[in-house]
Amino acid sequence: QVQLVESGGGSVQAGDSTRLSCLASGHTFSSYSVGWFRQAPGKEREFVASISWSGDSTYYADSAKGRFSISRDNAKNTVYLQMNSLKREDTGVYYCAARVGSFYPVYEWDYWGQGTQVTVSS
């Protein structure tokens, strides 16, 4: 069992940067792949980025490529999502998720955090 807690959300201006954190507890976090997802108002939740258990491999949605960067520090049981050049359409609730095995988003994710709100205004 893994518990995930997101932090770092808030209100920012378009063009700004911010970093989200996902703190894990409860099990051997370094065994898990981790993904970031987001849900905008009135829309379905969508994949943003993911990272392998070792941190050696990452995968991004097209909307995140070149602007967002996912990383992890297994010693701190934390995964980060650095978001740069934010746009209004990046607004939403951001969730981190974890699973044992592949970091590719096509697979189901077993554990989810409660989410953190990011609001981008122009």
* Chain segment 64-83, per-residue pLDDT in tens: 999 999 999 999 999 999 99
Q: What is the pLDDT of residue 29?
A: 84
The tally of CA atoms less than 13 A away on the side-chain side of residue 121 is 4
Calculate the alpha carbon distances from 88 to 15, 66, 68, 106 in Å: 9, 17, 15, 26
First to last CA, the chain: 40
CB 115 within 8 A of CB 95: yes
* Token couple for 72: 């992890």
What does residue 88 show for φ and ψ, rounded to 5 degrees? Answer: -60, -35
Q: What is the pLDDT of residue 9?
A: 87
Is the pLDDT at 1 greater than 90, yes or no? no
The predicted-structure confidence for 86-104, as pLDDT tens digits, reads as follows: 999 999 999 999 999 899 8
